[in-house]
């Protein structure tokens, strides 16, 4: 059911809109569509069904998004082969929008592992160490539906989008990590 685009790229051939499909009925609709091969699921915070769609996607066997990394020695070198960050960072849900600190020791990302988009963080002591177990940021950041974290160069401010004010869309928010009393390594629980 895929359509070939330019070169090796493909896109789903069919999709489904979910406006008006909430709760268990919404989940059942999305599960049935996925079983039939649908891979484009149109949803929006405005529809009020993100949890129903998220539950259906989480129960499905459809592969979800993972976070990968690629490196190069200098800006003039070519990028290396992408490497999946593995199951410590990537969940069975959609994980995306990584933002890494300037020192390479802190990685923010959003994940739908709990059924809605929330911002998580993982750390490591040295750049060649593996990432630690991710921690979900507390309610100062995760108040409703949050995504696309971006850490400032100096590590003092986290920018992200959120629907917390219920204005019908996403707005850009920021939180000063220093004002929240957060020790940048390794205790992010201070945001709880």
The answer for residues whose C-beta is within 8 angstroms of residue 188's C-beta and 6 or more apart is: 121, 123, 135, 137, 182
The answer for residues whose C-beta is within 8 angstroms of residue 78's C-beta and 6 or more apart is: 72
Quick check: bond before 29 cis, omega within 30? no
pTM attached to this predicted model: 0.65
The dihedral built from the CA positions of residue 82, 88, 89 and 90, taken in this order, carries a sign that is: positive
Q: How far apart are CA 105 and CA 119, in angstroms?
A: 17
Q: What is the DSSP letter of 177?
A: T
From first to last of the 192 residues of the chain, give the pLDDT tens digit.
555 555 666 655 567 778 888 888 888 988 888 888 777 777 666 677 777 887 887 788 776 678 888 887 888 888 888 888 888 998 888 888 899 998 989 999 999 888 888 999 999 999 889 999 999 998 888 888 898 999 998 988 999 988 887 666 778 888 887 765 444 333 343 343
Q: How far apart are CA 113 and CA 92, in angstroms?
A: 7
> What pLDDT is attached to residue 13?
59
Cα 142 from chain centroid (whole Å): 12
Instruction: Check: CB of residue 118 under 8 Å from CB of residue 162.
Output: no
Greatest C-alpha distance within the chain: 53
> What pLDDT is attached to residue 136?
92
> What pLDDT is attached to residue 185?
35
List the structure tokens of 153: 């160069």
- Going along the chain from its start, the domains and CATH numbers come out as 2-59 (no CATH), 68-191 (2.120.10.30)
The answer for residues whose C-beta is within 8 angstroms of residue 65's C-beta and 6 or more apart is: 94, 95, 96
Given the DSSP bridges, would you call strands 40-42 and 15-17 parallel, antiparallel or unpaired? parallel
What's the first-to-final CA gap in the chain, in angstroms? 44
List the structure tokens of 154: 């100096």
Name residue, tokens 């911002």.
Answer: 119
> What pLDDT is attached to residue 11?
57
């Amino acid at each position: 059911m895929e359509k070939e685009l330019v070169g090796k790229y493909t896109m789903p051939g069919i999709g489904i809109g979910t406006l008006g499909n909430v709760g268990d009925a919404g989940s059942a609709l999305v599960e049935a569509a996925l079983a039939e091969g649908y891979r484009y699921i149109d949803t929006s915070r405005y529809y009020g069904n993100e949890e129903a769609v998220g539950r259906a996607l989480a129960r499905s066997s459809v592969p979800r998004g993972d976070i990968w990394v690629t490196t190069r020695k200098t800006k003039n070198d070519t990028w290396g082969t992408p490497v999946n960050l593995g199951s410590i960072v990537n969940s069975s849900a959609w994980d995306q929008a990584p933002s890494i600190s300037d020192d390479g020791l802190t990685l923010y990302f959003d994940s739908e592992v709990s059924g809605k988009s929330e911002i998580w963080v993982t750390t490591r002591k040295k750049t060649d160490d593996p990432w630690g177990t991710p921690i979900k940021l507390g309610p100062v950041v995760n108040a409703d539906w949050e995504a696309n974290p971006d850490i400032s160069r100096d590590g003092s401010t986290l920018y992200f989008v959120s629907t917390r004010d219920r204005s019908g869309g996403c707005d850009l928010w920021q939180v000063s990590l220093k004002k929240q009393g957060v020790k940048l390594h390794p205790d992010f629980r201070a945001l709880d």
